[in-house]
Amino acid sequence: ILNVEQSPQSLHVQEGDSTNFTCSFPSSNFYALHWYRWETAKSPEALFVMTLNGDEKKKGRISATLNTKEGYSYLYIKGSQPEDSATYLCAFIGGNEKLTFGTGTRLTIIP
Amino acid sequence: DAGVIQSPRHEVTEMGQEVTLRCKLISGHNSLFWYRQTMMRGLELLIYFNNNVPIDDSGMPEDRFSAKMPNASFSTLKIQPSEPRDSAVYFCASSLRASGGNQPQHFGDGTRLSIL
């Protein structure tokens, strides 16, 4: 069983503040790391797919970094807005090409 | 562009009944994934297909669950007989098949299943 962990489990951030959270995954047999954003009552939506050590991806105010050697990825949100409230999931793909999801970080932005 | 389409959106049925969940892939996608979301276990992969062929069904809970892809754009997940512990939200997702998992998955809106 692959261990994909996300921390913290939940987070409350004041509107306008920046925040970040972590996904840790096995450092061996790495293929890819996905980040998804999951709003309540909707379905997960892909944010980033990262494959190379040192990758940095950016989409608007959201960015992510990847360290495959030590097995972690950070997701950053700059200048949080209420619409950023969601659960952020990471998913690890190893040699078997299956996604193993973490349990998510539930982010709430306080207006 | 039409996304992944799942039906029904909600299903309430009595224990012992057969349940069939349906999923239509995004046109051009050739990988299909079925997931189950529960409070206890989060999002779990049940089974996935590449080019209509089941690749890994190790996540299927037991023989009461079966999944098929009768053609390249459509899949069903069947539970027979259903039990109350099968109550969950079932998602399907599709993607372009690529080695190394470097393609994002696109999720349907899910089917909320309640077994009474």
One-character DSSP codes across A49-88: EE-STT-EEEETTEEEEEETTTTEEEEEESS--GGG-EEE
Q: What is the mean pLDDT of residues B47-55?
A: 91
Residues in A 32-61 with any Cβ partner in B closer than 8 A:
32, 34, 42-46, 49, 51
So what's the pLDDT on residue B97?
Answer: 76
Q: Is B107 on the interface with A (CB under 8 A)?
A: yes
Which tops the pLDDT comparison, B97 or A49? A49
Task: Evaluate if residue B98 carries a pLDDT over 70.
Answer: no
Nearest Cα to A68, choosing from A52, A57, A79, A86?
A: A52
Nearest Cα to B87, choosing from B47, B40, B41, B38?
A: B38
Give yes or no for a contact between B75 and B49, defined as CB atoms under 8 angstroms apart.
yes
- pLDDT tens digit sequence for B76-85: 999 999 999 9
So what's the pLDDT on residue A15?
Answer: 97
Q: How many percent of chain B have pLDDT more than 70?
A: 97
Nearest Cα to B34, choosing from B99, B101, B103, B88?
A: B88
Nearest neighbour of A43 by CB, restricted to B56, B102, B110: B110
Nearest neighbour of A44 by CB, restricted to B56, B100, B107: B107
Task: Evaluate if residue B101 carries a pLDDT over 80.
Answer: no
So what's the pLDDT on residue A1?
Answer: 61
CB contact under 8 A, B45 and A103: no
- pLDDT tens digit sequence for A44-53: 999 999 999 9
Residues of chain A with pLDDT under 50: none
Residue tagged 């970094």 (tokens)? A65
pLDDT band, very low/low/confident/very high, at B99 (cuts 50, 70, 90): low
